C-alpha cells in the first residue's frame, strides 16, 4: 500500500506579498503585482514592466555575510521555507533529520549572478570573478541552502524543467514520501529572473506582453486581447509529510496530495502541441494516479500564461480530458495577478490550490474583459468565488514540452 501524503506547511514570497497571508489577501482582492521594472533601466526594452517582489530585504531572514553568497532566488526560497517550516511546527532534530528532505526547483537560477560576473570577466579579467558566483547561481543551491539551514539530511534534489519545475518538485517529493524514502519534504520552486538578459530573451521570443501603457492589466489569461505573459519572481514552498508521521506530532493538515502526472509534448522547443495531447495526458495521469474520475474535480488552477497559444490549447486539453464536465468545473489563472514565476510557478500555484480547498474559496482570473470564442470555459472572471471543493488540479507546462499536473484532495480522516 502506498503511504498517504499530506500538506502541513505553506510559505510564499510573491509579487503581491512577502508572506502567505499578505499574498492570499491580495489575491482575494484581485490585486495585480505588475508594474514598471525597478531592478534595471528598461527604457529600451520591448517589455518595460514585470511582476517584481517588492520591499523584500534578505537581511530580515539571513545574516549579511551569508546573504552575499546567495542569489535572490535562494533568498526567496529561504524566506518561504522558513515560513512553511515554522507554520508546520516541524522540528527537524537529529532523531528525524535523515528522513526529512528538500526538493526546491528553479527554471533558471540566478541570472543576475551570471550577467554580473560575466561583465566583471570581460572588464577586469578572470581574477575578479567572485568565488561565490557558482554557488549563488546554480539551480540546486536553493534546495541545498534550505537543507543546510533546517538540518534536513534526507533526499536533496532540484529540477530545472522550465515552467514545470516547481510542480515537478512537489510531485517528485510526493512520490519520495509515498514510497518510503522520506517522511517529510520541504518542496516547491523559486525564481528571480527579471534581468536585462532574461527580459530581452523572452521578448525576442515574442513571449512577453508589450502592453507598456497599462502594466496592471497586461496579464489577462484566456481573454481575447491577451498578448503575452508578464514575467514574475518569488517562491512557493510546501511541507509534505507522511500522514501518520504528521498525525503523531499533531500537525495541522491543509490537504492531501493524491495524484501526480508527467508528460512530454515531443513537439516544439517553445510552442505547445496544437492538439493539446501532452496536456491531456498529464492531466489524465494525475487523475489515474489518484484513481479519481474527471467529474470529481471541483477546481483547476490552470497554467494560463496569457499567451495566445497556451491558453487556447490548454482550454482544448481541459475539454478533451473532462468532457462535458469541463463546462462545469471552475478554472482560474492566478498568473493574471502574480505574473508568470517560471520555475516557481508550480510552487506558488500549488500553495494556492491547497488554500482554495482548505479555505473554501477559489481565486479569480482578473483582467477578464472580452471573452475569447476559443476559450469558452468558466475562468472565475475578476472576483473570487466561495466553493466547497473536494479535489483541485494544478497544471504546469514548460518549454521543451515538459508538463506536470498535481491533484490535491480535501483531507479526511
Neighbours of 59 (CB within 10 A): 10
Q: What is the β-pairing status of strands 299-301 and 331-332?
A: parallel
Instruction: With respect to residue 55, please indicate whether it lies within any of the assigned structural domains.
Output: yes
Check residue 2 and give its pLDDT.
84
DSSP string, 133-161: HHHHHSTTHHHHHHHHHHT--S-EE----
Domain end position, chosen among 248, 270, 287: 248
**In the block, which residue shows the cell 528571480?**
192
**Same domain, residue pair 241 and 283:** no
**Same domain, residue pair 298 and 387:** yes
**Same domain, residue pair 241 and 324:** no
**In the block, which residue shows the cell 537543507?**
147
**Same domain, residue pair 68 and 204:** yes
Phi, psi (degrees; rounded to nearest 5) at 122: -70, -35
**Same domain, residue pair 289 and 363:** yes
**Same domain, residue pair 64 and 174:** yes
**In the block, which residue shows the cell 502594466?**
215
**Same domain, residue pair 101 and 243:** yes
**Same domain, residue pair 92 and 17:** yes
How many structural domains comprise the chain? 2
Check residue 273 and give its pLDDT.
85
pLDDT means over runs of 10, the chain (413 residues): 92 98 98 98 98 98 96 98 98 98 97 95 96 96 98 98 98 98 98 97 97 98 98 98 97 98 93 90 98 98 97 98 98 98 98 98 98 98 98 97 98 89
Distance CA 179, CA 340 (A): 32
Check residue 270 and give its pLDDT.
85
**Same domain, residue pair 323 and 393:** yes
What is the domain range of residue 105?
5-248
Question: What element of type H or E holds 184?
Answer: strand 184-191
| Cβ neighbours of residue 284 closer than 8 Å, sequence gap 6 or more | 261, 321
Distances (CA, A) of 77 to 32, 220, 398: 22, 27, 20
- Of the candidates 63, 80, 141, the one whose C-alpha atom is nearest the C-alpha of residue 341 is 80
Domain end position, chosen among 193, 214, 248: 248
**Same domain, residue pair 287 and 339:** yes
CATH classification at residue 349: 3.40.47.10
Domain end position, chosen among 194, 214, 248: 248
**Same domain, residue pair 240 and 268:** no
Check residue 1 and give its pLDDT.
61
Distance CA 378, CA 387 (A): 14
Catalytic positions are 163, 303, 340
**Same domain, residue pair 193 and 75:** yes
Instruction: With respect to residue 60, please indicate whether it lies within any of the assigned structural domains.
Output: yes
Instruction: With respect to residue 254, please indicate whether it lies within any of the assigned structural domains.
Output: no
Instruction: With respect to residue 253, please indicate whether it lies within any of the assigned structural domains.
Output: no
Instruction: With respect to residue 255, please indicate whether it lies within any of the assigned structural domains.
Output: no
Instruction: With respect to residue 99, please indicate whether it lies within any of the assigned structural domains.
Output: yes
Q: With 0.85 as the threshold, say if the pTM is over it.
A: yes
Amino acid at each position: 500500500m502506498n503511504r498517504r501524503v499530506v500538506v502541513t506547511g505553506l510559505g510564499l514570497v510573491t509579487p503581491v506579498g512577502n508572506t502567505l497571508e499578505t499574498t492570499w489577501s491580495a489575491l482575494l482582492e484581485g490585486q495585480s503585482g505588475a508594474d514598471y521594472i525597478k531592478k534595471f533601466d528598461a527604457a529600451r526594452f520591448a517589455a518595460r514592466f514585470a511582476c517584481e517582489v517588492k520591499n523584500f530585504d534578505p537581511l530580515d531572514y539571513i545574516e549579511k555575510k551569508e546573504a552575499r553568497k546567495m542569489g535572490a532566488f535562494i533568498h526567496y526560497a529561504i524566506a518561504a521555507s522558513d515560513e512553511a517550516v515554522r507554520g508546520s511546527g516541524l522540528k527537524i532534530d537529529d532523531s528525524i533529520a535523515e528522513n526529512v528532505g528538500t526538493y526546491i526547483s528553479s527554471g533558471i537560477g540566478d541570472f543576475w549572478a551570471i550577467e554580473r560576473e560575466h561583465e566583471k570577466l570581460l572588464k577586469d579579467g578572470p581574477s575578479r570573478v567572485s568565488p561565490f558566483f557558482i554557488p549563488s547561481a546554480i539551480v540546486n543551491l536553493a534546495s541545498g541552502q534550505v537543507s543546510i539551514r533546517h538540518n534536513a539530511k534526507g533526499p536533496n534534489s532540484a529540477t530545472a524543467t522550465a515552467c514545470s519545475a516547481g510542480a515537478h518538485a512537489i510531485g517528485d517529493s510526493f512520490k519520495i514520501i509515498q514510497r518510503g524514502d522520506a517522511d517529510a519534504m520541504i518542496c516547491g520552486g523559486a525564481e528571480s529572473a527579471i534581468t536585462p538578459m532574461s527580459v530581452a530573451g523572452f521578448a525576442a521570443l515574442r513571449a512577453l506582453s508589450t502592453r507598456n501603457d497599462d502594466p496592471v492589466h497586461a496579464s489577462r489569461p484566456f481573454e481575447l486581447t491577451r498578448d503575452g505573459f508578464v514575467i514574475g519572481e518569488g517562491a512557493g514552498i510546501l511541507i509534505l509529510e507522511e500522514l501518520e508521521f504528521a498525525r503523531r506530532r499533531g500537525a495541522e493538515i491543509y490537504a492531501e496530495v493524491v495524484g501526480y502526472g508527467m508528460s512530454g509534448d515531443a513537439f516544439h522547443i517553445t510552442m505547445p502541441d496544437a492538439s493539446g495531447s501532452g496536456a491531456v495526458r498529464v492531466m489524465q495521469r494525475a487523475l489515474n494516479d489518484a484513481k479519481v474520475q474527471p467529474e470529481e474535480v471541483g477546481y483547476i488552477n490552470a497554467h494560463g500564461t496569457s499567451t495566445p497559444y497556451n491558453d487556447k490549447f490548454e482550454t482544448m486539453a481541459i475539454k478533451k480530458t473532462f468532457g462535458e464536465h469541463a463546462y462545469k468545473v471552475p478554472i482560474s489563472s492566478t498568473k493574471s495577478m502574480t505574473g508568470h514565476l517560471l520555475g516557481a510557478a508550480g510552487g506558488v500555484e500549488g500553495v494556492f490550490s491547497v488554500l482554495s480547498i482548505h479555505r473554501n474559496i477559489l481565486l479569480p482570473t482578473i483582467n477578464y474583459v472580452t471573452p475569447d470564442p476559443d476559450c469558452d470555459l468558466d475562468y472565475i472572471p475578476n472576483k473570487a468565488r466561495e466553493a466547497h471543493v473536494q479535489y483541485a488540479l494544478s497544471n504546469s507546462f514548460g518549454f521543451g514540452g515538459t508538463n506536470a499536473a498535481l491533484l490535491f484532495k480535501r483531507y479526511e480522516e
